[in-house]
Chains A and B, each alone.
Chain A
Amino acid sequence: MSLAARNLTLGYGGQPILRDLDLNLPQGQVTAIIGRNGCGKSTLLRGLGGLTRAQAGQVLLDGDDIATLRPKAIAQRMTLLPQSPIAPEGIRVAELVARGRTPWLRPFRPPGPEDRAAVTRAMEAAAVTDLRDARVSDLSGGQRQRVWIAMALAQETGWLLLDEPTTFLDLRHQLDLLKLLRALNRQDGRSVVMVLHDISLAARFADHVVAMRDGLVLAQGTPQSVIADEILRQVFGLETKVIADPLHGAPLVLPL
């Protein structure tokens, strides 16, 4: 299971947002895409997930150009959770999580035992089993985000792509969510790719960091190699002093 971009050019008609981008996403790891607002990181994620069509170049999923795959075939191998998904009015947690099974369902057939088992597993993994009968609209922001993660997990794909999963969460829930995602990655080897706003959180939770600016990948590699003074200056235009976090050893960014 590999995911890569080759000479990828993406845009929404007119001027491309990403041009000629080459990227290999490490399998079985947590990758964070960082960069300033409008640098094209969400566009890259949408392109990787097949939501935005390549104007040129390719996205290769296990060597297959995703432009040649049907949406259902992509969805059986890769899950993309958009930034602020809309829950249908009145839906309950278990129902929403069950929608993650969509790419595995056959027309005219109700979900089978393997689908129900996948939903149960996903709710346990995301710690929302106790909420199964609650209405999604009644949940707090942190709970709701865990429910969306559970839906994404129920899809049972090797790749999990998340667009800013921590937005609108307070710090504690941001940490809880990232810990959850890393635990899922460590337990069953799912590859996680997420767009993150916060460099410190990316430094602490990612195995691989992709730093973008103006539609280009400026640097990629381990957090230690990417989250460094010179690269941060180029990516964010920030003067910083990066030190080793005394507790976890991850890079810790001190803005100057």
Chain B
Amino acid sequence: MRRAPVIAALLLVFLAALCLGRNLVTIRDLWEVLHQGPEAKAWFLVWELRLPRLLTAIGAGAAFGIAGAISQSLFRNPLAAPEMMGVTAGASLGAVAVLLAGANGFAVASGAVGGAVAAPVLLLALAGRQPEVSRLILTGIGISLTASAMTGLLLSRASDTVAGDAMLWLTGSLNGRHWQHARLIWAVLPVLLLVAALIARPLDRMEMGDDLAQSLGIPVHLTRPVLVLLIAALIAAGVAVVGPVGFVGLMAGPIARRLANGAGPDLIGAAMIGALIMLLADLMVTLSAPYALLPAGVFTGLMGAPWLIWLLWRGDIERKTA
């Protein structure tokens, strides 16, 4: 992928998201924040409100983007998403269960992480020792549907206030994300990125089929569970800080692949595109409704659905299944 335009776009959107909003921050204000620290008049707005929110957005977007790209390679399908493994549904169930139990904040994030990790562990246990791709998908969808149904059941029993909170959480949002969120995602992201970098080449070879990958020396049956757990960890990290923001993984992988104009997955590209999408969604949130902040998940969905339709229109599905 030609990275320069994407990096430029990232910087531009980042800067725009720092400056725009209900209160405008000028470049001069940013300069003051950098040089004067807490003395600067825009300090609180930039350093305490916007910067941690944007860093959280970048981290979560990168995690979702990589998780999506890995899913698409793993399932050899351009429209695969971590949702197909039940990771997101598991996270939602975990979070809603904790919300209903009356807890808040960090406990909800923990519930989400627990659910996100439990789903693929269950998936690997149910799919057998050497799962075929199709079995992995079907089992994953089964787990996903079960978890969603249980979430629905829980919500139907909840009081209106709690159900409202839960629904808000389920859309995913960047509102009120602070340094604790940014620190959380950026503490785990480097480790996950390292694993992703290590797994990129085996993943690329596995797109050519299990037999060929194995005869090229890839330990396919060991690698596949590692990939499933890596997807789960990435989604868990992202969901813990912004909730289950949809469509980022679905969009980032194919866009990165298209921009790369080559073969195989582009994990770094997908991370950058994922981050860009989250930043864009955040910017749209601020621009469209400066007084009533809509959740970012609404905008990733609004961008994601048309992208999905465009992919279909381009005939990708026919080519992949042919």
Write the residues of chain A forming the contact surface with B, with a CB cutoff of 8 angstroms: 46, 49-51, 70-76, 79-82, 85-92, 95-96, 99-100, 102-103, 105, 107-108, 155
Q: Are A90 and B263 in contact (CB under 8 A)?
A: yes
Indicate whether B208 reaches chain A with its CB closer than 8 angstroms. Answer: yes
Q: Are A91 and B263 in contact (CB under 8 A)?
A: yes
Known: A102-B217, A103-B216, A107-B198. A51 touches B211 (CB 8 A): yes
Q: Are B215 and A49 in contact (CB under 8 A)?
A: yes
Could you name 12 residue pairs across A and B whose Cβ atoms are closer than 8 Å?
A71-B217, A71-B220, A73-B217, A75-B216, A76-B217, A87-B208, A88-B264, A90-B263, A95-B262, A96-B263, A102-B217, A103-B217
Q: Are B217 and A82 in contact (CB under 8 A)?
A: no
Known: A50-B214, A81-B215. A99 touches B208 (CB 8 A): yes
Q: Are B208 and A86 in contact (CB under 8 A)?
A: yes
Q: Mark B124-154, 1 if CB is under 8 A from A, else 0.
A: 0000000000000000000000000000000
Q: Which residues of B contact A49 (CB under 8 A)?
A: 215
Residue of B nearest to A73 (CB): B217
Q: Are A75 and B211 in contact (CB under 8 A)?
A: no
Indicate whether B319 reaches chain A with its CB closer than 8 angstroms. Answer: yes
Distance in Å from the Cβ of A158 to the closest Cβ of chain B? 15
Q: Are A155 and B208 in contact (CB under 8 A)?
A: no
Inter-chain CA distance A81–B215, complex, in Å, is 8
Residue of B nearest to A161 (CB): B215
Q: Are B198 and A108 in contact (CB under 8 A)?
A: yes
Inter-chain CA distance A23–B176, complex, in Å, is 70
Q: Are B214 and A71 in contact (CB under 8 A)?
A: yes
Residue of A nearest to B209 (CB): A86
With beta carbons under 8 angstroms apart, the residue of B198, B207, B218 that contacts A71 is: B218
Inter-chain CA distance A9–B198, complex, in Å, is 35
Knowing that A46-B211, A91-B262 touch, tell me 5 more A-B residue pairs with CB under 8 angstroms: A71-B220, A80-B215, A85-B209, A90-B261, A102-B218
Known: A70-B219, A107-B201, A108-B197. A88 touches B207 (CB 8 A): yes
Q: Which residues of B contact A81 (CB under 8 A)?
A: 212, 215
Q: Are B217 and A74 in contact (CB under 8 A)?
A: yes
Residue of B nearest to A137 (CB): B319
Inter-chain CA distance A51–B197, complex, in Å, is 26
Inter-chain CA distance A72–B213, complex, in Å, is 10
Distance in Å from the Cβ of A150 to the closest Cβ of chain B? 14
Known: A85-B208, A88-B207. A75 touches B219 (CB 8 A): no
Q: Which residues of B contact A89 (CB under 8 A)?
A: 263, 319-320
Indicate whether B181 reaches chain A with its CB closer than 8 angstroms. Answer: no
Q: Which residues of B contact A73 (CB under 8 A)?
A: 217
Q: B219-252: which have CB < 8 Å to A?
A: 219-220
